[in-house]
Amino acid sequence: MAALKYSGMDDTDSEDELPPGWEERSTTDGWVYYANHEEMKTQWEHPKTGKKKRCAGALLYGWEQETDDKGQILYVDHINKRSTFFDPRQAFTVEDLQVKPKRYDGNSTALEVLHARDLSDRVVLVTGANSGIGFETARSFALHGAHVILACRNQSRASKAASLIMEEWRKARVEAMPLDLASLRSVREFAEIFKARKLPLHILVCNAAVCTQPWNLTEDGLETTFQICHLGHFYLVQLLQDVLRHSAPARVVVVSSESHRFTDLVGSCGKVELSLLSPPQKEYWSMLAYNRAKLCNILFSNELHRRMSPHGVTCNALHPGNMMYTSIHRSWWLMTLLFTFARPFTKSM
C-alpha cells in the first residue's frame, strides 16, 4: 500500500479506476492497453491491479472501426453521427485469465504432470511397466482415465502391478500383456494379438530396459542389452506404426538416457560400425553397451519423428533423471552400492 500511495495510485475509490495521467486504450483486435501521458509509455497490465483485459464480443450495432489520416484508430457511431477514439467495447471488457505453464523439476511426480487431464478416450501402451519408471507412468495414465496396457516379460509381476493400480481406483482400466523384448518372436506375437483386438493406440511408451547385464546372447543371436533396450522397441514400433497412424494424433515416447553422450558408433576408420552394437564377449563392457543402446534410442526417435510427424504421430526421447533409484541396477553389485549411497539425494520409484 505504501508503494501505491507513493505513486499516487491510492487516490481512486475503485481498484479498476485509473490513476491520474493514465488512459485506457485498445488495439484493433480488442486487447486493452494503458497509456501513461506523464511518462510517455504504454503497458498491457492495469497500472493498479496488474490485470490484462480484452474487449468482449464485436462492436455494437451502428458502430464501425476506422483509421484517420494520422493512422490512429477511431470509432464511428453512424446512428448518432459521432466519432470517438474510445473503443465502446471497453465497457464490456473481460479479464484475460492466462494460465502460465507449470514448471516441473526433480520433485515433480507423474501424477502432477497429468493433473486435471481427462484421458478416458486414450489407449496407452507402456513396456516394462511392472516396476520403476514404467509403473509410475502406467499408474498415472490409468488414474487419469486412460486404458493402459502393461507390456511386460514377467506376467505375474505385471498382473500384480495392474492389481495395485486397480486397488487404488476400482474404475481404472489397466491390464497386462506378455512381451519379451529379448525375443523378436515374442514382439511379433504381441503385435499380432494387439492388432487383433482392433484397439487404437494413442501413446506408446518405450520404457523397458536393462543395465549392467553380463554378456549374453538372446535367442536371436544378438547381445541382450542392445536388443532389450533398443532393437526390441524398434521392431515393436515398426509393427504397430499403422495402428499409430490410424489413431492420430498419437505419440511415441522413448525413454533414453543422458549416458548416450558417453559413446559413439564410429569405429577407428571414422565410419559407423554396426558390429559395435552386438560385440563379442571379449569386447563387451556392460555400461558401454547400455550407452550405445541409448544413443540408438535418440537416433531412432529423431528419424521416427521425421517420418511419422506428417501423419500425426510425434516422437520424443527423454532422459528420466540421474541416478533414479529403480531396480535397473540389480545385475551388478557395484552399481547397486552406488545407487544405495545416492538414494537419499535422488528421486526414488
CA dihedral 172→138→248→240, nearest 10 degrees, is -110
Which cell is 162 given?
Answer: 495392474
Diameter of the chain measured on Cα atoms: 93
Q: At a CB cut-off of 8 Å and minimum separation 6, what does 29 contact?
A: none
Q: At a CB cut-off of 8 Å and minimum separation 6, what does 302 contact?
A: 315, 317
Which cell is 274 given?
Answer: 554396426
Out of 61, 75, 284, 290, the active site residue is: 290
Q: How far is CA 282 from CA 193, 214, 296, 335, in A?
A: 39, 12, 22, 21
Q: At a CB cut-off of 8 Å and minimum separation 6, what does 122 contact?
A: 141, 145, 146, 147, 202, 203
Q: Known catalytic residue: 284?
A: no
Q: Which of 110, 181, 177, 191 is nearest to 147 (CA)?
A: 177
- Report, as residue numbers or ranges, the catalytic residues: 290
